[in-house]
Amino acid sequence: MAHDHTNGCSDCGNLSRRDFVRSVGGAALAVGAGSLSGSLYAAPSAKSAAETVAAELHGSLTEAQKKMVAFGFDHPLRKKISANWAITKPTIGGDFYTAEQRVLIDKVVRGMMSEDGYDRVMQQMEDDNGGFSEYHIALFGEPGKGKGGFEFELTGRHLTLRADGNSVEGAAFGGPIVYGHGLSNPKKQLYYYQTQAADKVFKSLDPKQAAAASIGKEPKETAVLLSGKKGSFPGINVGELSKDQQQLVMATIKTVLNPYRAEDVKEALNVLKAGGGLKTLNMAFYTAADLDNDKVWDVWRLEGPTWVSFFRGAPHVHAYINVGLKNV
C-alpha cells in the first residue's frame, strides 16, 4: 500500500543530510567505492553502475525487510505517478536499513544521475523534506537474467527516480520520473535554468507562432501517459519551426535530460528518434500562470508520440518526464 506523506513520517528516524553523510562515510569502506559514472551504451543494463549496486542492495535485505520494500516486478506501485508520495513506509535514514545499506542506496542514486544532477537532487531533498534520509525506496522483481525484470525506485516529496537496467525495453528511465523544488520564487528554483532554456524557444517565435504555442490553463499535471502516433498534442508543432528554432527546442530537451546519467539520456534520445524525431513534438506554453508577470512562462510542455516532458513551475516546480515506445 502506498503511503502519501508530504513531509516524511512521524515514526521515521530524523537523520539530517549532514548526519547521514557522516554516518555513511565510515561504512563506505565496507561496501567498496567503485566507479559510478554511467557507461556510454545506448541504454542501461543489469551491469550498469546503479543496477549493479541495486542488485547488491537486494541481496543484502533480510526476509523481514523484503516484506516491506520488495515486490513483484508487475506490482501496481511501480506504475504510480505522483509528485508527492512514499512508495514504502521506511525512510532511508530510519533504523530499518543498516548503515551499509544506506551507503548502497546513496550509490544507486549517484549512479542514476549526472554529477550536477546528483548535487541538485540532494539539495532538492534537503530543501523540500529534510534531506535524503527522509525519502523512500522500493525494489521490484529479482536481479539477474531471465527473472522478469528488476527495478530500483526512490520516491518522496517532488521526486521519483528509477533504475531498471532496461528491463522494460524502449522505456527510458524504466518509466515516468518526477522532479521538483518547493521554492515559490522562480529565479531561486533549482530547475529554473530549464525554464530559461524553454523561454529562448518562446522568444524566438514570431507573433503567429507564439499564438499557436500559447495555451491558457494547463492540463492535470499527472496526465503524462504516452498517446502514441494517434495522439493530439497541444501547442505548436516543432516541425513547423525554422532550423534555428528547432535547435533551441533540442537544446531545451538536452537541458531537461542534463541531470541524468549518460545511458538514460542516450536511450531517451533514441526513443525520440524511433518515434519520428524532433519534428513529431509539439511545444506548448501555458500563460495562465506567470509568477513574476514577466512573460517568462513558468508552465510548459513538450509532447509527441513517444515523449512527454511537462514542467509546472508555478506555484513551485512539479516536473514529469515520460519517454517510451509505449506506456509502462
Which tens digits make up the pLDDT trace of 85-116?
A: 999 999 999 999 999 999 999 999 999 999 99
Residue 146 has pLDDT above 70, yes or no: no
Q: Pick from 167, 199, 228: which residue ends a domain?
A: 167
pLDDT at 16: 43
Residue 14 has pLDDT above 70, yes or no: no
Rounded Cα distance between 223 and 140, Å, is: 24
**Claim to verify: residue 36 and residue 123 sit in the same structural domain:** yes
Give residue 212's identity as a one-letter amino acid code. A
Residue 142 has pLDDT above 70, yes or no: yes
**Claim to verify: residue 223 and residue 139 sit in the same structural domain:** no
Look at residue 180 and tell me if it is in a domain.
no
Q: Which helix (H) or strand (E) holds 151?
A: strand 150-156
Q: Pick from 167, 195, 221: which residue ends a domain?
A: 167
**Claim to verify: residue 140 and residue 193 sit in the same structural domain:** no
**Claim to verify: residue 215 and residue 109 sit in the same structural domain:** no
pLDDT band with cut points at 50, 70 and 90 for residue 57? very high
pLDDT at 313: 94
pLDDT at 2: 39
Tell me which residue has cell 524532433.
Answer: 278
Which tens digits make up the pLDDT trace of 152-206?
A: 999 999 999 999 999 998 999 999 999 999 999 999 999 999 999 999 999 999 9
**Claim to verify: residue 56 and residue 92 sit in the same structural domain:** yes
Residue 109 CA neighbour count, 13 Å, CB half? 26
Residue 299 has pLDDT above 70, yes or no: yes
Look at residue 1 and tell me if it is in a domain.
no
Q: Which domain holds residue 200?
A: 186-323
Which value, to the nearest 10 degrees, does the dihedral of the CA atoms of residues 143, 149, 155, 159 take?
120
Q: Number of structural domains, the chain? A: 2
**Claim to verify: residue 45 and residue 163 sit in the same structural domain:** yes
Instruction: Identify which of 130, 109, 135, 140 has the alpha carbon closest to the alpha carbon of residue 38.
Output: 109
Look at residue 10 and tell me if it is in a domain.
no
**Claim to verify: residue 190 and residue 226 sit in the same structural domain:** yes
Taking all residues of the chain, what is their mean pLDDT, rounded to a whole number? 89
**Claim to verify: residue 30 and residue 162 sit in the same structural domain:** yes
**Claim to verify: residue 282 and residue 203 sit in the same structural domain:** yes
Look at residue 2 and tell me if it is in a domain.
no
CA-atom Rg of the chain in angstroms: 20
Q: Is the distance from CB of 188 to CB of 290 less than 8 angstroms?
A: no
Cα–Cα distances in angstroms (integers) from residue 141 to residues 49, 153, 154, 247, 263, in the given order: 18, 11, 15, 40, 21
Give the bridge partners for 152, in sequence order.
139, 163
Residue 12 has pLDDT above 80, yes or no: no
Tell me which residue has cell 549532514.
Answer: 18
Look at residue 223 and tell me if it is in a domain.
yes
**Claim to verify: residue 299 and residue 215 sit in the same structural domain:** yes
Tell me which residue has cell 543496477.
Answer: 51
Residue 84 has pLDDT above 60, yes or no: yes
**Claim to verify: residue 162 and residue 195 sit in the same structural domain:** no
Q: Pick from 106, 135, 167: which residue ends a domain?
A: 167
Per-residue exposure over 70-80, b if at least 16 CB sit within 10 Å of its own CB, e if not: bbebeeebbeb
Residue 35 has pLDDT above 80, yes or no: no
Look at residue 175 and tell me if it is in a domain.
no
Residue 99 CA neighbour count, 13 Å, CB half? 12
**Claim to verify: residue 156 and residue 191 sit in the same structural domain:** no
- Per DSSP (E only), the strands in 182-278 are 214-215, 236-237
Look at residue 181 and tell me if it is in a domain.
no
Residue 237 has pLDDT above 70, yes or no: yes
Look at residue 173 and tell me if it is in a domain.
no
Q: Is the distance from CB of 165 to CB of 69 less than 8 angstroms?
A: no
